[in-house]
Structure 1
Amino acid sequence: MEVKYTKSFLNKLEDVFAESDYILRYEKGNFKSGYCILNDNKVVIVNKYYTLEGKVSCLIEILGQVDLNTKDLCDKNRNFYLELTQTSLKL
């Protein structure tokens, strides 16, 4: 899958997080994006001042590191996630 740095591609990534157990938040500050687990809450925090390319790259990297339950995802998002992770593994 070709990674596209567009708003619609970012929306697809956000949709995957919306259907997962993870809460996606955009916050301001001087920090690197990432994810953490706080009191059994899975939270992904992305710097809101990142460029579009930075947000997309960060979310792809985080998706490669977390363990998502694909059974919770709708067919469209499941196929997108699986295609994205298979492409990322080949790189």
Structure 2
Amino acid sequence: MKDKKKLLKDFEELAAKLGIKIRYEKTNARGGLCRVNENYYIIIDKKASTEYKLNIIAQSLKKFDLSEIHIKPKMRELLEEQE
């Protein structure tokens, strides 16, 4: 579990580096990436499991060009697992 929390922190930092804000909200929605004007947000239910949060963030970040950014092997592995 500790590894997943560290991985989540790494993904949150990557999103911030890309200028994407992650918001943990009380919602019944699945969550995911959205764009308001020129700003990107990833909205996730704050009560979701760490694994679910990781998957939503990874699915969202996969839509961006990450080829020029150094990404840790565990992160890249999770990104490649996403559809």
Q: TM-score range by the shorter chain?
A: 0.7 to 0.9
Q: Report deviation, 1:68.
A: 4.1
Q: CA RMSD in A?
A: 2.8
CA deviation profile, 1:8-49 (whole Å, cap 9, x unmatched): 011111110111121111111100111111111111111111
Gaps of 5+ in 2: none
Structure with higher helix content = 1
How far, CA to CA, are the matches of 1:48 and 1:12 in structure 2? 18
CA deviation profile, 1:31-88 (whole Å, cap 9, x unmatched): 0111111111111111111111111111111122x214665x5xxxx2328x616961
Q: Which amino acid aligns with 1:11?
A: K
Residue aligning to 2:61:
63
What is the identity percentage for the equivalent residue pairs of Structure 1 and Structure 2? 24
Structure possessing the higher radius of gyration over alpha carbons: 1
Higher relative contact order at CA 8 Å, sep ≥6: structure 1 or structure 2?
1
Residue aligning to 1:17:
15
Q: Which amino acid aligns with 2:59?
A: E
Gaps of 5+ in 1: none
